Amino acid sequence: MGNLLISEPPLQVLPSLAVKVGLNEAIVLQQFHYWLQRSNNIRDGYKWIYNSFPNWNKQFPFWGLNTLKRAVTGLEKDGYLITANYNKAGFDRTKWYRIDYSKLDMSRPSTQNGPTNGPKWVDGTAQNGSTNTNRLPETTTEITKENSAAVAAHSSIESDFEEIWSAYPNKKGKKQAFNHYKAWRKKSAKHSNDYLFTQLKLYKQYIAQNKDWYRPMDGSTWFNGRFDDEYQVSTEQKHEGREYWTGG
């Protein structure tokens, strides 16, 4: 097993970036950033890279194609990746990509509009071709206690979210729900699952007592602060085996 331990240039990712966008997405962003720095494809003042998903996937052999597509599509939807079509052939729908560094609270790298001293990017071919993107960063990074703590905190928040999510009755909008949950947890050390479980118990009682007309709100909605809502919940218990009349 020893030959699996850093016997080739390693993939790198900053734990703080993984906390911000997710681990798979952070790996994609880091690699796109590396390739963008070496790209000669400049359009509208920005450097771009492009390739087909099957060829992208060759650079991430540890993922299935669908996993890679989800990561890239998620980064597009969240605004971290900007896409365009600069293909000369009208039928060629290959997407071109660049990173919105402002979205990451980063200034644009100094190499974005100028030449680099590193390996030059070879222009890609069309949809069925390949690009020279197989070179990974040949540097190492020290894993500090601070970064390790960031990863551990993210892992803890994820597991805590899964715990409360599994108990929520309407599982729609999980990704948005997690983003809301994560932001809420970071606002205060007092924000915990104990509070959410207490609120969820009351909410479930309200749902049960109004099931004839009330539908549980989507998870993405409830986790967006709606867990603070107050509901009129009856605490009166029915006696087992007996129905009560309200009229004569």
- Helix runs in 60-187, H state only: 65-77, 145-167, 174-187
For β-strands 96-99 and 46-50, DSSP reports them as: antiparallel
Residue 101: DSSP 8-state? G
Residues of the chain where predicted confidence (pLDDT) is lower than 70: 1-10, 106-155, 235-248
User: Is the domain of 155 the same as that of 134?
Assistant: no
CA distances from 34 to 28, 114, 121, 146, 196 (A): 10, 15, 10, 24, 41
User: Is the domain of 75 the same as that of 136?
Assistant: yes
Which pLDDT value is given to residue 236?
60
User: Is the domain of 171 the same as that of 133?
Assistant: no
Q: Domain end: 97, 125, 141, which one?
A: 141
Q: Domain end: 118, 141, 164, which one?
A: 141
Residues 162-219 pLDDT 10s: 999 999 999 999 999 999 999 998 888 888 889 999 999 999 999 999 989 999 999 9
Which pLDDT value is given to residue 158?
87
CA distance linking residue 59 with residue 64, whole number of Å: 11
Helix (H) or strand (E) holding 198: helix 193-209
User: Is the domain of 85 the same as that of 101?
Assistant: yes
User: Is the domain of 131 the same as that of 20?
Assistant: yes
C-beta separation of 102 from 96 below 8 A: no
Which pLDDT value is given to residue 201?
93
Which pLDDT value is given to residue 132?
39
Question: The domain containing residue 136 runs over which residues?
Answer: 8-141
Q: Domain end: 100, 125, 141, which one?
A: 141
Number of domains in the chain: 2
Which pLDDT value is given to residue 237?
52
Pull the structure tokens for residue 12.
């790198």
